[in-house]
A and B are shown apart, each in its own frame.
Chain A
Amino acid sequence: MTSTTTLSQESHDDLPPRRSQSRIVFARLLSKPAAVFGMVIVVMLVACALVPDLIAPHDPYAQSLIRRLKPPSFLDRGVEGYWLGTDHLGRDTLSRIIHGARTTLLVSLFAVIVSAVAGIWAGLAAGFFGGRTDAVILRLIDMQLAFPVVLLVIAIVAVVGPSLTNLIILMGLSAWPRFARIVRGSVLSVRGLEYIEAARSIGAGKLRIMLRHILPNILSAIIVYASFELARMILLEATLSFLGLGVQPPTPTWGGMINDGKNYLSISWAVSLFPGIAIALIILAFNLLGDELRDALDPQLSHD
């Protein structure tokens, strides 16, 4: 898709050594305010996900029906120490957002990994082998794209049960075609290039060619795309929560928190607003980072 057209145009005949390239890319990123903003948010998210207990002021599961639906502590009626207020069961919203970062990130990250791995293999196979393999994979891609994700999730969850793992796999499966398309497009564009031909002529196996010569060249396209996909997965989890199919309570996820909180919008807007802001920020961050990463990786654009 997009990133394919941009990135596959990289010239491959004079690839610089990878490490120095990544250093250049990183330096380019640091010079962009948008990228820095994105990175700061992502680092905060990762910190929350790794050590929520150190950061969160309260136990995210501690209920108190007396203390419920309190506004943020800086407002009237707010309770000292509950900075972003409490939810419908009196749990601290800030602590739940911090702990929710872990599940939210875990689910979306692994879902992206699942879809990327499945999509990369399918795309590599389709692009590299061509012919019948390609045709079959293309048909599978069309099928998946035309199939409503919600139906897939309901049907399978009903049978296998709604565990975190199942959710991750299902969400991941819903997104593999987009990766497959990108990879296939990229493979097609590099397949005929000289160095692949050269590798083939010295007798390198197909698998080896795919893994050693093709994959590294399309990795940047995949990483960029994955950053967009991560944002989409966070939203998908939220939508599944809205349909009652998200992560199990009481485990907090941002999407689930919005869904719970939306019923209280008229009484206590804070319950859904803050997780909403959290989601908006992180999606903004991932997307900005993806955009900037793409620009930074594209040597054509670096001239101006």
Chain B
Amino acid sequence: MLQYVVRRLILTLPVLLGILLISFMLTHISGDPTDLILAPDTPDEARELFRQKHGLDQPVWVQFYQFCVHALQGDFGDSLRFNQPAVTLVLERLGATTELAATAMLLAILIGIPAGVVAAYRRNTPTDATVRAVTLMGQAVPSFYLGILTIIIFAVWLRWLPSGGRGTWAHLILPASTLALNLVALIARTTRSCMLDVLNQDYIRTARAKGLGESWIVWGHALRNAFIPVLTVIGLQVGLLMGGVVVTETVFSWPGVGRLAIQAIYARDYPVVQAVVLFFAVIFVGVNLIVDLLYAVLDPRIGYR
């Protein structure tokens, strides 16, 4: 098991390195941050000093070399806008994003899996159709629009919930549900189809023949087996979740990494963008590693090869 984990970790190294390389190239071809950070009427002398200070006057390959040397030591440089280490800026906001993303994921799983199970069990009945239509609607509305609608309805009209920001758990409800709704449909649909597969398997028939209770068969037996592919899908959605966080955090003024990322991208704040991209990648890779490890727990037939 340990050997497997080590091997997987070694395999992720080229991925992370590749991501660093691509993000460096992308940020550097997207324009000089000097234009965005200093007012357009700033005299050339001051601009040049700014560029020197941040090493922007160096040839790109020198910048890349410097970047790699420092990045290997965990130093992504100082943010061009905040004059603070980019890593610090990301770490400061990681808690907020984790809180939001984890709540959303939990919410999506708690709604999506039971919905999928029910839809599969009651396949081709009105229940099935309703469950599918309702969960799909969550995926059918762009999340920025959904977010704004919920603010107007629940904060402005009904005055039930705060319109944005982070604080009490009441602040968490709207952004987490907005983020979750996009995932519910996918999880529900995956669960449904995996359950359909499993419900047709011989061992389920055997279980029925043995006279096991129907609800035990569905929720215990079948779901346990259907859960593995569902887990994979959930793992892969972490990437999308990170993308969703960008929009949701902006709409709900949530002080997280996603909002930092989008503002850094717009300002061409290279060090911050690179740090965020790497963090997202690490989270993505980490979650998917955990998913693979969970496989073994859920299904002893899968070995570590």
Contacts and interface: CB of A to CB of B under 8 A. Distances in A.
A/B: CB atoms within 8 Å of each other: yes
Interface in B244-290: 246-247, 261-262, 265-266, 273, 276-277, 280-281, 284-285, 288
B30 interface: yes
B55 interface: no
A210 to B, nearest CB: 25
Contacts of A145: 236, 239, 284
Is chain B's interface secondary structure helix, strand, loop, or mixed overall?
Answer: helix
Is chain A's interface secondary structure helix, strand, loop, or mixed overall?
Answer: helix
A55 interface: no
B142 A291 contact: no
Contact of A146 (B185, B232, B262, B285): B285
A262 to B, nearest CB: 6
A280 B22 CA distance: 35
A280 B137 contact: yes
B148 interface: yes
Nearest to B13: A139
Contact of A159 (B30, B123, B148, B242): B30
A152 interface: yes
A243 B30 contact: no
Interface in B166-208: 185, 189-190, 193-194, 196-197, 200
Interface residues of A, number: 55
**For this complex, into which size category does the number of interface residues on chain B fall?**
35 or more
Contacts of B194: 2, 5-6
A293 to B, nearest CB: 12
A259 B144 CA distance: 9
Given A288-B136, A300-B200, A146 B233 contact: no
A148 B19 contact: no
A144 B139 CA distance: 22
Given A146-B284, A151-B26, A283-B136, A3 B141 contact: no
A5 B64 CA distance: 43
A155 B246 contact: no
Nearest to A151: B265
Most buried by B among A5, A151, A255: A151
B189 A291 contact: yes
B152 A265 contact: yes
Interface stretch (A71-79, A88-96, A110-118, A234-242): A234-242
B15 A156 contact: no
Given A150-B246, A262-B144, A265-B148, A158 B31 contact: yes
Interface of B: 11-12, 14-15, 18-19, 22-23, 26-27, 29-31, 123-124, 129, 132-133, 136-137, 139-145, 148-149, 152, 185, 189-190, 193-194, 196-197, 200, 229, 232-233, 236, 239, 242-243, 246-247, 261-262, 265-266, 273, 276-277, 280-281, 284-285, 288
10 contacts: A1-B229, A5-B197, A139-B15, A145-B236, A147-B277, A148-B277, A178-B236, A243-B262, A283-B139, A291-B193
Interface of A: 1-3, 5-6, 9, 32-34, 135, 139-140, 142-143, 145-152, 154-156, 158-159, 178, 231, 235, 238-239, 242-243, 255, 258-259, 262, 265-266, 272, 276, 279-281, 283-284, 287-288, 291, 294-295, 300-301, 304
